[in-house]
Amino acid sequence: MLTPSYITNFDTRQLPRHECEYVIIGSGIAGLYTAYAASQSGSRVILLTKQAADNSNTDKAQGGIAAAISTSDSPELHLEDTLLAGAGLCDREAVRILVSEGPDRVRDLIGMGAHFDYKDGELALTREGAHSRRRILHASGDATGAEIQRALTDRVRRDKNIQILEDHLAVDLLVKENVCHGVLALDRRSNDLKVFWGKAVILATGGLGQLYEYSTNPEVATGDGIAIAYRAGAEVMDMEFIQFHPTVLSLSGAPRFLISEAVRGEGAYLRNRYGDRFMTRYHALAELAPRDIVVRAILTEMGITASERVFLDLSHLTPDLISERFPTIMKTCAAYGLDITRDPIPVAPAAHYMMGGVKTNLNGETSIHGLYACGETACLGVHGANRLASNSLLDGLVFGWRIVQWVKKYGVDYCPGRCYFNCDRLLSQPSEVNYQSIRKEIQVLMGQYAGPVRTSQGLIKALEKLESYGYIARYEVSGPEEIEVRNMLEVGHLVAEAALVRTESRGGHYRMDAPQPVERWLKHVIIRR
Ligand code: SIN
Query: Which of 283, 204, 198, 208 has its CA nearest to residue 26?
Result: 204
DSSP string, 352-363: EEES-EEE--TT
Mean pLDDT of 259-269: 95
As a whole number of angstroms, the distance between CA 278 and CA 256 comes to: 23
418 has a pLDDT exceeding 90: no
Cross-strand partners of 249: 347
Cα of 470 vs centre of ligand 1, distance in Å, is 35
* pTM confidence score: 0.96
Sign of CA dihedral 62, 65, 69, 71: positive
Question: Is the shortest distance between the CB of 443 and ligand 1 below 6 Å?
Answer: no
Cβ-in-10-Å burial (0-12, 13-18, 19+) of 47 comes to: buried
Q: How does pLDDT run across 141-177, given as a tens digit for each residue?
A: 999 999 999 999 999 999 999 999 999 999 999 999 9
Determine which of 106-115, 258-267, 302-311, 423-432 has the lowest per-residue pLDDT on average. 423-432
Positive or negative, the CA dihedral 92, 98, 101, 103 is negative
User: What topology does CATH give the domain 245-349?
Assistant: Flavocytochrome C3; Chain A, domain 1 (3.90.700)
Cα-Cα end-to-end distance for the chain = 11
Cα–ligand 1 centroid distance for 260 (angstroms): 6
The total number of residues written for the chain in this structure: 529
Ligand 1 atom with minimal separation from the 353 CA: 7
- Among candidate residues 105, 256, 264, 291, the one labeled active-site is 291
Domain ranges of the chain: 12-241+355-410, 245-349, 435-523
Q: Find out whether the beta carbon of 268 lies less than 6 Å from any atom of ligand 1.
A: no
Query: Using a 6 Å cutoff on CB, does residue 394 contact ligand 1?
Result: no
Q: Ligand 1: distance of its center to the CA of 451 in Å?
A: 19
Is the distance from CB of 124 to CB of 117 less than 8 angstroms? yes
How far is Cα 25 from Cα 203, in angstroms, rounded to an integer? 5
Question: CB within 8 A of 465, min separation 6: which ones?
Answer: 441, 445
pLDDT of residue 2 exceeding 60, the answer is no
Per-residue pLDDT band for 3 (boundaries 50, 70, 90) equals: low
Q: Which residue among 390, 394, 395 is best mutated to probe the pocket of ligand 1, counting the most ligand atoms within 8 A of its Cβ? A: 390
Ligand 1 pocket check for 392: Cβ under 6 Å: yes
Report the alpha-carbon distance of residue 78 to residue 82 in Å, rounded.
6
* Per-residue model confidence (pLDDT) at position 369: 96
What is the C-alpha separation between 446 and 492, in angstroms, rounded? 7
Q: CA-CA distance, 213 to 439, in Å (whole number)?
A: 10
Distance 250 CA to ligand 1 centre (A): 17
Position in ligand 1 atom list of the atom nearest CA 66: 8
Helix, strand, coil shares of the chain, percent, nearest 5, are: 35, 20, 40
User: From CA 340, how far away is CA 318, in angstroms rounded?
Assistant: 11
Q: Which atom of ligand 1 is nearest to the CA of 247?
A: 3
The number of the ligand 1 atom at minimal distance from the alpha carbon of 393 is 8
Task: Please determine, for residue 417, whether its predicted confidence score (pLDDT) is greater than 70.
Answer: no
What DSSP string describes 236-280? EE-TT-EEEEEEEE--TTS---B--HHHHHTT-EEE-TT--B-GG
CATH of domain 435-523: 1.20.58.100
Is residue 144 lining ligand 1, measured as CB closer than 6 Å? no
Superfamily, domain 12-241+355-410: FAD/NAD(P)-binding domain (3.50.50.60)
Distance CA 479, CA 439 (A): 14
Residue 455 has pLDDT above 90, yes or no: yes
CA separation for the pair 414, 180 (Å, rounded):
9
- Residue 398's H or E segment, with its range, is helix 392-410
Percent of all residues in the chain with a pLDDT value above 90, rounded to a whole number: 92
> Could you tell me which of 108, 107, 113, 136 has the C-alpha nearest to residue 124?
136
- Dist CA 439 CA 320 (whole Å): 43
How far is it, in rounded angstroms, from Cα 287 to Cα 505?
A: 21
In this prediction, residue 478 carries a pLDDT of 82
Q: CA 461, CA 499: separation in Å to the nearest integer?
A: 13
Distant-in-sequence, close-in-space partners of 506: CB < 8 Å, separation ≥ 6:
87, 88, 89, 385, 517, 521
In 3-state terms, what secondary structure has residue 202? strand
pLDDT of residue 1: 41
227 CA distance to ligand 1 middle (Å): 25
The answer, yes or no, to whether residue 512 has pLDDT greater than 80, is yes
Whether 291 is a known active-site residue: answer yes
Sign of CA dihedral 204, 209, 210, 215: negative
Beta carbon of 205 within 6 Å of any ligand 1 atom: no
